[in-house]
Structure formats: structure tokens, C-alpha cells
């Protein structure tokens, strides 16, 4: 009986171990595709500067007819009791597209010189205030 249970357990683990192969690929996101940036404040950077860059960033998309949400946030570390530190650990920005179709349309759109200039303007504002340490692609599930 012990041998039978062990065999069943091994088979179960090996079947479930391949479960990740069935997960959707990034271009199959059925939720809201998002770019996620984690950054630290620069020596002279401010939260107000990051908020300004985020506003410019969101306006950049909206001015081109895309309903993209740019959501900045502040990260704080917790101590062993779960209490958040008063010190800012990192800042984050989520750039959230409403769906995969909109994200794909954006990626394939042509960029004008005006687009590049406005892009550089808000990126420079981010760069004055923060330094990206990590970026990820997310699929925010609905």
C-alpha cells in the first residue's frame, strides 16, 4: 500500500509539474497588458517630479487617442512585525493598456518626430527624478 501511494504521488507531481506549459504567452494576455517599472529616486529626485513625469506619460498616450493608464506608486519595506518603514524603498510605475488589441496597435503605430520629442521630454523628467532598476511585462488578470 505504501508503494502504491508513493507511486501515485510521484505520478501526480510529474503531471502537475508541467502545468506551467499551459499558461498563456505574453501576446495571449486576456487581461490588461502592462509595462511595470521599478525605480529608485535619484539623489535630487522627488516624488513630485515622478508624479509630473507620470502625468506627462499618460497624456502622451491620451493625446494620440490611446486610453492608457499610467499609475505611479511608492514601495516601503516592512519590518518583521509587518509595519511599513517611513523610508521610501522604491517607486513603481504601471503603464496599463485596456486590452491586448490596443497594446498591439500601439506597438505597431508609426512615430513622428513630434512623438519622439514628446516621448523624450517625459522620459527626461523621469530620469531627473528616478533611475529604473527593473522593468517587467505584466498581464493583469481580470
Given this model, what pLDDT does residue 142 score? 80
* Chain segment 20-48, per-residue pLDDT in tens: 566 667 777 889 999 999 999 999 999 99
Given this model, what pLDDT does residue 17 score? 54
* Chain segment 88-119, per-residue pLDDT in tens: 999 999 999 999 999 999 999 999 999 999 99
Q: What is the 3-state secondary structure (H, E, C) of the chain?
A: CHHHHHHHHHHHHHHHHCHHHHCCCHHHCCCEEEEEEEEEECCCCCHHHHHHHHHHHHHHHHCCCCCCEEEEEEEEEECCCCCEEEEEEEEEEEEECCCHHHHHHHHHCCCCHHHHHHHHHHHHHHHHHEEEEEEEEEEECC
Is residue 50 within 8 A of residue 77, CB to CB? The reply is no
What are the chain's domains?
30-140 (3.30.70.100)
Q: CB within 8 A of 131, min separation 6: which ones?
A: 39, 40, 42
Given this model, what pLDDT does residue 24 score? 67
- Provide the mean pLDDT of the chain: 88
pTM of the predicted structure, to 2 decimals: 0.80
Residue 57 pLDDT > 60? yes
Distance CA 75, CA 85 (A): 10
Residue 1 pLDDT > 90? no
Distance CA 36, CA 95 (A): 6
**Which of 3-12, 17-26, 72-81, 100-109 is predicted with the least confidence, judged by mean pLDDT?**
3-12
Amino acid at each position: 500500500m505504501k508503494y502504491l501511494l508513493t507511486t501515485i504521488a510521484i505520478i501526480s507531481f510529474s503531471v502537475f509539474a508541467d502545468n506551467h506549459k499551459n499558461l498563456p504567452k505574453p501576446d495571449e494576455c486576456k487581461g490588461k497588458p502592462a509595462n511595470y517599472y521599478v525605480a529608485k529616486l535619484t539623489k535630487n529626485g522627488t516624488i513630485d517630479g515622478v508624479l509630473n513625469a507620470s502625468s506627462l506619460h499618460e497624456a502622451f498616450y491620451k493625446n494620440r487617442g490611446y486610453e492608457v493608464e499610467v499609475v505611479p506608486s511608492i514601495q516601503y519595506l516592512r519590518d518583521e512585525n509587518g509595519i511599513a518603514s517611513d523610508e521610501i524603498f522604491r517607486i513603481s510605475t504601471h503603464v496599463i493598456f485596456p486590452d491586448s488589441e490596443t497594446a498591439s496597435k500601439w506597438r505597431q503605430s508609426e512615430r513622428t518626430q513630434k512623438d519622439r520629442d514628446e516621448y523624450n521630454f517625459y522620459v527626461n523628467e523621469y530620469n531627473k527624478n528616478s533611475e529604473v532598476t527593473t522593468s517587467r511585462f505584466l498581464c493583469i488578470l481580470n
